[in-house]
Amino acid sequence: MTNVVTFPGLGLEFELNRVAFTLFGREIYWYGIIIACGFLLAVLFCYHWAYRFGVDREKLMDMLFFAVPACIIGARVYYVIFNPSICFNPDGSFSLYNTIAIWDGGLAIYGAIIMAVVTVAVYCKVRRQSFWDYADIGCYGVIIGQMIGRWGNFMNVEAFGGVTDLPWRMCSQSIADYLWNHGYADAEIYQQVLDGTLGVHPTFLYESLWNLLGLILLILLAKKGRKFSGQIFLCYVIWYGVGRTVIEGLRTDSLYFFGTALRTSQLVGILSAATALVLLIVRAKTAGPVTPPLPRPGTEGALAAPVQPEQGEAATLGDEAEDATPQDNSAQPDDTQEDPPHDEG
């Protein structure tokens, strides 16, 4: 399905097709490709920076074999818990296919984050690694994945906000239809969205930019030097929790907390940010010394191996050593030399 998305205030227009290409008769969606690219960049960054946090690269990659499937399952379970209607057919019968059909959408980032924390905690306990160090390096991967993954929402024309007339408002036929079908627009607003007078908040863009800024700040914080293990992770939780709480309030497709008027992501965002703030203060006072970095990959041999002189230098040093060797004067006895002492037996 092709959607024409416009940003009238910016003079931009995009023709978007959810399907990137067809492979062996199956449609491959841009959403999946973008998510995969985000995951790949996240892994590459964490692999490159792991040594800075005292984390062994190979152990980090081992952990990912457990964390990745766990996060996918957690993201889906979280979504299904707070949107159980997706599990049923139009006639009201339960559908296992609908329940697990992540290829049709329906993943919640907070479910993935929760499962990531649980998986890392168990892995570090079993392998006797530092949870806080793994959490510190891992949050870079999470925020990179979130930053890039939101553009998959753009390709699907989803995860947008309410009606606005801001210069960067976003418009399309599918957006107008969604607002009408879900009671966010009357006939007048519907027509204004179609002609571009009104649009919606591009909340996918807000969150992507918020994560980009957060990534920059976290990189600068790491380069300045961690005060204690866990500092980066807790700062990430606070940053994302605050941003998500604000942005979620603009969205029109929120999951609600078991039928109440509370938006689930706002509730989780506030609670997680507040908890992280308390832990940040406590660990700043009680945490031990930060884990020192490992040797930079590729420099271990250079640090361990002794410096070998070049061939020309070796010959010169050998000659100098030979010249400096004391001569043997045993053939010319010294009359003044005293007899060596003898043990008195």
CB 74 within 8 A of CB 120: no
Report the amino acid identity of residue 55.
V
Q: Residue 313 — pLDDT band, cuts 50, 70, 90?
A: very low
Q: Residue 297 — pLDDT band, cuts 50, 70, 90?
A: confident
Most confident listed range (24-33, 166-175, 250-259, 290-299): 166-175
Q: Residue 299 — pLDDT band, cuts 50, 70, 90?
A: confident
pLDDT tens track for 87-105? 999 998 999 999 998 877 7
What is the bridge-based pairing of β-strands 26-29 and 19-23? antiparallel
User: Would you mind telling me the total number of residues written for the chain in this entry?
Assistant: 345
Note the pLDDT of residue 339.
42
DSSP letter (8 states) at residue 339: P
Report long-range pairs for 210-218 (Cβ below 8 Å, ≥24 apart): 210/240, 210/243, 210/247, 211/143, 211/144, 211/146, 211/147, 211/150, 211/240, 211/243, 212/147, 214/143, 214/239, 214/240, 214/243, 215/140, 215/143, 215/144, 215/147, 218/139, 218/140, 218/143
List the domain boundaries for the chain: 2-161+201-286
- Give the helix/strand (H/E) hosting 12: strand 12-17
User: Cα 243 from chain centroid?
Assistant: 16
Measured from the Cβ of residue 268, the count of other Cβ atoms closer than 10 Å reads 23
DSSP letter (8 states) at residue 229: T
Q: Is residue 200 pLDDT above 50, yes or no? A: yes
The phi and psi torsions of 109 (rounded to 5 degrees) equal: -60, -35
Q: Residue 36 — pLDDT band, cuts 50, 70, 90?
A: very high
Kindly report the pTM of this predicted structure.
0.84
DSSP letter (8 states) at residue 88: B
Report the amino acid identity of residue 144.
I
pLDDT tens track for 105-130? 788 999 999 999 999 999 999 999 99
Note the pLDDT of residue 259.
85
CB 244 within 8 A of CB 143: no
pLDDT tens track for 134-173? 999 999 999 999 999 999 999 999 999 999 999 999 999 9
Produce one character per residue of 101-113: b if its CB has 16 or more CB atoms within 10 Å, e if not.
eeeeebbbbbbbb
Q: Is residue 177 pLDDT above 60, yes or no? A: yes
Q: Residue 317 — pLDDT band, cuts 50, 70, 90?
A: very low
pLDDT tens track for 56-94? 999 999 999 999 999 999 999 999 999 999 999 999 899
